[in-house]
Amino acid sequence: MDLGVIGPGPQDRTRLDGDGGEWRELRVTAEASEMVTVPRAELDALRAEVRRLRREVGRSLAKARMEADPGPGDGALTLSRSQLAEAWGISE
């Protein structure tokens, strides 16, 4: 059974190179014996978990990139939020 192209939205696409490259649409095929029924609540919970995991991975990648960035290289000061607030004469 050919299920065709899945949906028109970007949530139904995948990146070719995983780093901002081209999009291509996924094509799904399945035999009737390979298909299963999943309760809607479970499907929604699984989708929510996937979104949470993607956010977590995104945050860890962003943090790693920030930590690996050498900065402007001009000897500029790096201040914490509280140090910056104190320097500007404002309180948090």
Tokens of 44: 């929604």
Task: Please indicate, yes or no, if residue 91 is contained in any of the structural domains.
Answer: no
Number of folded domains that form the chain: 1
Report pLDDT digits (tens) over 16-51: 445 555 666 777 777 878 888 999 999 999 999 999
Note whether residue 24 is domain-resident.
yes
92 within domain boundaries: no
Cα separations in angstroms, 5 against 8, 9, 10, 12, 33? 8, 11, 12, 9, 20
Range of the structural domain that residue 16 is part of: 2-85
Beta strands 23-25; 27-29: pairing state: unpaired
Scanning 1-92, the segments in alpha helix (DSSP H) are 40-68, 81-88
Whether residue 10 has pLDDT greater than 60: no
At residue 59, the pLDDT reads: 94
